[in-house]
Amino acid sequence: MRGSAAALLGIVLCGCAREEKAEPKNIGQQAADVAVDTAIVRQAQAAANEVVRNAADCDVAKPAIAEANRRLDEAMGRVRTATGKTTLEAIRKRVSTVADACP
């Protein structure tokens, strides 16, 4: 009985142990992540620039808004860094501002 209780206690304690955090990325991996994010954000930014550039003409801006949102959605799933995500959110806000002005 004591053996079973001790074994059960051991299993429970092992199950409650914290998982070790993954090793932090080295500088080369971080630089690669930034380079990838830069390329991804550049593509989304180009689509958003079309929206902002045509903000005064809603007939031209509306199709560009749909394309920009599609590219932003795609980019959000591909960026690797928190900075990349924050940048895409800021770009999306600019597109959203134009979309609100063009009902």
pLDDT in tens, the chain (103 residues): 444 444 433 444 444 445 556 778 889 899 999 999 999 999 999 999 999 999 999 999 999 999 999 999 999 999 999 999 999 999 999 999 999 998 8
Would you say 88 and 76 are in contact if contact means Cβ atoms under 8 Å apart? yes
Distances (CA, A) of 54 to 28, 58, 62: 39, 7, 9
| Domain assignment present for 9 | no
Q: The domain containing residue 56 runs over which residues? A: 32-103
Answer whether residue 54 is part of any domain: yes
> Which of 64, 45, 67, 46 has the alpha carbon at shortest distance from 54?
64
Q: Is residue 1 part of a domain?
A: no
The reply to whether 8 falls in a domain is: no
Q: Do the domain assignments include residue 89?
A: yes
Q: Is residue 68 part of a domain?
A: yes
Q: Is residue 85 part of a domain?
A: yes
Residue 67 gets the label, from left (phi > 0), alpha (psi -120 to 50) or beta, of: alpha
Q: The tokens of 86 are what? A: 């924050």
Domain count for the chain: 1
For the full predicted model, state whether its pTM sits above 0.75: no
Q: Determine, yes or no, domain membership for 84.
A: yes
